[in-house]
Structure 1
Amino acid sequence: MPKLFLFVKKHEVSVARQAGKGFISYLWRNVLEKIMGLIAMVFLARELSPYDFGLVSITEVLLYMISVFGTTGLAEFLLAYRKDDTEEIFNAAFWFNVLLTISISIVFIACVPFWAVWQHDERILYIGIIAAGIFIFSQLQTIPKTWLSKNLQFDKQVKMQAPFIILVPLAKIAAVFAGWGVYSLIIPTLIFQPVLTLWMYKSIELKIKLRLLTNRWKEIYHFTKHLIGATVFTRITDYGDKFILARFVGIDKLGIYNIAFQLAELFTGQLTQVANNVLSSSLPKYVDDKNIFYKHYINFLKAFSFLILPLLVIMFIVAKPMVLLLYGEKWLEAVLPLQILIVAAAFKALSSSYGCVMNSFHQNKKSFAVTAVYGPVHLVASVVGSMYGLAGLALAVTIVKIIFINWNIKQVMDTVSKPFMQWYRDIVPFFMVSTLIGLIVWLCIYQLPVMNASINVIVVSTTFTILYVLSFRVLLKPYTANIATTVHQTFPKLSPYFNKLLGI
């Protein structure tokens, strides 16, 4: 028995360290992606108009709405698959994916001319064709990405993607100065996506065979059908509000809202993607013991909260100087919706592992029920909010999201057999500390003389960080000790620096 216990503990530490290594790899990749994206946007936002950004966004709305029926749940199914015939099921999934991707692209291209007429801009036709090409190669990457994630080969995946993360934004900058206009937002991606796709397939051990294995498709569909249903409503909510906004206040306002939304998820979108990539690969290994499962889930979430919440509070405070610094005065209308959407981003980030938990326990039907109710409510709120402009839409969406996120949290806690309020008892201290320090910094900053935008960002960020670290060093040592344990298990090389920073 002691030997078995020792083996289990070693296995837990091994998986945790591999997950931690993967988190760091994905984090560096996504930090690089965000930095390069911001550099590109500094130039693109000054050369292109809000209408140009809105035009690409409204075209993507159509693509993402159609693609939901074929792009959902495949990676989740493969990551949660626990039988021995892994190579065969990946081959079946490959051909399943190819057929659906081609079918979706044909339907999308057939619909694009009508979409262009309805939106009164023929450029949508050409943007749509380019977007379809990007979509095809992006979808084909699902299989090699999932293979690498399932085998915890996070470093390998990141090394392949890194060169393209640099090349695509640089190509966009070159394209906009070459006079490509709105097409500079998408053509560079189309050029590089096929190269990355081919490289990924050549770099994995999986050998694709010329057998469709249609007898396995039913098994795949049985898992994904509930996710497809849930994602239909998710896509409707994620992109329906953009469509509503474009119809109510115009495509140019959609471009501004899009910028606000992207900035609100500047850190959360990338960090949650990283966290979910890692958690969806590691959490299924603990489903046989709900207590161990919850321990790993909540410890990761505490460490995640410690990192993400202060970033969001800083962004909330410096929203105006940040928009001025990055995009210029013509985008100032994005400031208020940005601040509102940051609140939604905080709740969304901390509940983003909801799908990982539900998929690990194959509770897709329950997650679908929430989304089925959320979709219509979100759309009604979007219509009402849009009547009051960008800020009205952002506020309506945020209120609805927070209400339904609590339903998600309730389902997670029921799944792991824990009381609902346990989640808040574990996480609320991080909310409280970040909010209180943010309020102090905000009140103090308005007592100072008007500063240059870049100086404002630096002063606020530095002041907040010092107060945040001091509060955990002096007042919140028990919470710091718990996070330090998780950091030590997951990121052993970073642990000494973390402990030194927080006085442990």
Structure 2
Amino acid sequence: MKNRLRKFLVRMLPKGDTLEQTVKSGAWMGAMNVLSRGLQILLVIILANLLDPADFGLMGIALLVLSGLRKFSKLGLNAAVIQNKEKNVDEYMNTMWVLQLVRGAVIAVVLLAVAPLIGSVFSEPRATDVVRVVAITPLFSALRNPAIVYFKKNLNFHKEFAYRMSGSVSRFVVSLGWALVSPTVWALIAGLVASRFAKFVFSYYAHDYRPWPSFELDRAKELIDYGKWITSNTILYFLYTEGDDVVVGWLLTSTALGFYQTAYRMSNAPATEISQVISSVTFPAFSTLQDDIAAMREAYYRTLQMTAFLTFPAAFGIAAIAPTFVETFMGEQWLPMVTAMQILTAYGLMRAVGKTMGPVWKAVGRPDYLTKLALLRVGLIALLIIPVTNRFGIEGTGLLITGIYIFPILPIDTYIIVKTIQGSYKRFVKQLFYPLVCSGGMFVAVVWLDQQLPLEAGVLEFATLVTTGAIVYMALVALFATRFEWAIEENLRSMFSSLS
């Protein structure tokens, strides 16, 4: 058994040509995200039955502040190194380490300084001490080994898997253990701190490079010059992905924030996590193809096809089973978030499509596209979010960010990506049409069955609906793949061939 496992792991090491490396890296990232997100969702389900929704909102406030500071200070160093055509970038490591040390120290100091203000702004005095404890986490992130960037640059995603899972497992174990002894918000905080510490320790175990505090100004300028667009986009990304959380927490209550953030996390998890796997792998892969537009175009369409094939049924499925899932696994006290959760599944679906585009733009040296599009998006959301949230609550907030993505963001995204790869709109739409039809058919079947089943919400009903959805979707996929010119079977065969 051990020999078979060893042989399997050796066979799965990302090596060979670019396609084989990309597919195997995707398999590692997929396994990592399934396990990591699975642990996270399981933890949320368990803690939802032990803690109050307000505790999740309190944790959400602390994470909002931390995330805001991290994104406003992100330098885009990793992206700059990954995009660099040179395979060995050791000469940048020490400068990167010094920059991230300074950044981590600044974030920690600012968190300590603004903690009392945060408690006042959100009318939640308990948030002050929570933010102060969270201030230790950016120090652990700053001290980690900068050479972990090689995991992505060289498509060594088996190492990235181990690195990320060290944090996920630590967070699960510590949060759960603490909650069983003392079911308070501190269980969530303790898990966060444990996760950051575990990843800091593992970063030195996983790579033998040892950074030293030396700084080269020319290297720093080179990294920051590329990274400035990544920085700008990251700031705007925070504003349009977490600015809604800030408004909900400020205008409404910490309980409403707990509902909204949990609904967002649950609704977007499968679709965005799948697309995140794909985008993480395709950025370094596309970077190797940046001088061959024809090869990049074919690679992009295959990426888009696989993204839609996997994420569309996930999004439609969540929308269909949301009421049953929430009542069964989280309890009736969480039912107020169901409508927002269903609305946000549409947002997650479109985010999944959008995430296929960023790696292309970064690979061809146009990360400014991301920033300019994000600026438009933030401006539109800023105009409407306060009155909409005041009037319609968290459901209105979800509708607003979803509606703005539908128009005008997604049409503009599509125009730019087709122009970038010198492709066609017909082929772009075709990659989305078949998964959309199959997922829509699955959605109708599951909702109809849910109305017909003489069962109360429970594990049996949930399992029945999920199984039915999977069967219907795969049956429709088989039908369309054999009757129409949908090359999904060819794409899947290519992937499995690379894995074997």
> Residue deviations 1:316-344, cap 9 Å, x none?
11100111122110000111000000011
Corresponding letter in the other structure for 1:184:
A
Which residue number in structure 2 is paired with residue 490 of structure 1? 495
Which residue number in structure 2 is paired with residue 324 of structure 1? 327
CA-based RMSD: 2.3
Contact residue 19 and residue 490 of structure 1 kept, 8 A = no
Q: Paired residue for 1:66, among 48, 53, 69?
A: 69
Corresponding letter in the other structure for 1:241:
D
Distance 2:46 2:248 in 1: 26
Contact residue 170 and residue 198 of structure 2 kept, 8 A = no
Q: Paired residue for 1:394, among 386, 393, 398?
A: 398
Query: So what's the TM-score if we normalise by structure 1?
Result: 0.90
Distance 1:74 1:479 in 2: 45
1:363 Cα offset (Å): 0.8
Q: Paired residue for 1:280, among 280, 283, 288?
A: 283
Q: Report SS of the residue matched to 1:432.
A: helix
Q: Report SS of the residue matched to 2:79.
A: helix
> Residue deviations 1:388-413, cap 9 Å, x none?
11211111111012221332222211
Distance 2:238 2:215 in 1: 29
> Residue deviations 1:132-163, cap 9 Å, x none?
22233235548343211112211122234434
- Alignment map for 1:473-488 (pairs within 5 Å): 473-477=478-482, 482-488=487-493
1:269 Cα offset (Å): 3.1
Q: Paired residue for 2:476, among 471, 474, 495?
A: 471
- Percent identical: 19
Q: Paired residue for 2:80, among 77, 80, 100?
A: 77
Contact residue 384 and residue 393 of structure 1 kept, 8 A = no
Q: Summarize the Cα distance change of 1:316–1:231 in structure 2 as closer, same or farther, 3 Å threshold.
A: same
1:492 Cα offset (Å): 2.2
Corresponding letter in the other structure for 1:400:
I
> Residue deviations 1:297-326, cap 9 Å, x none?
111221222122112211111100111122
Which residue number in structure 2 is paired with residue 426 of structure 1? 431
Distance 2:43 2:267 in 1: 18
Residue 57, structure 1, aligned to residue 60, structure 2: yes
Q: Summarize the Cα distance change of 1:405–1:141 in structure 2 as closer, same or farther, 3 Å threshold.
A: farther
Distance 1:415 1:96 in 2: 33
Moved more, 57-66 or 287-296: 57-66
Residue 267, structure 1, aligned to residue 270, structure 2: yes
Distance 2:474 2:46 in 1: 35
Structure 1 unaligned blocks of 5 or more:
1-10, 496-504
- Alignment map for 1:329-344 (pairs within 5 Å): 329-344=332-347
Query: So what's the TM-score if we normalise by structure 2?
Result: 0.91
Q: Paired residue for 2:303, among 300, 305, 309?
A: 300
Which residue number in structure 1 is paired with residue 462 of structure 2? 457
1:261 Cα offset (Å): 0.3
Distance 2:482 2:174 in 1: 47
Q: Paired residue for 2:353, among 350, 354, 367?
A: 350
Q: Paired residue for 1:411, among 402, 408, 416?
A: 416
Structure 2 unaligned blocks of 5 or more:
1-13
Residue 88, structure 1, aligned to residue 112, structure 2: no
1:89 Cα offset (Å): 1.8
- Alignment map for 1:363-382 (pairs within 5 Å): 363-382=366-385
Count of equivalent residues: 485
Which residue number in structure 1 is paired with residue 4 of structure 2? none
Q: Paired residue for 1:26, among 26, 29, 51?
A: 29
Q: Paired residue for 2:190, among 187, 198, 222?
A: 187
Distance 1:125 1:482 in 2: 55
Runs of 4+ in 1 over 6 A off after TM superposition: 478-481
Distance 1:489 1:401 in 2: 32
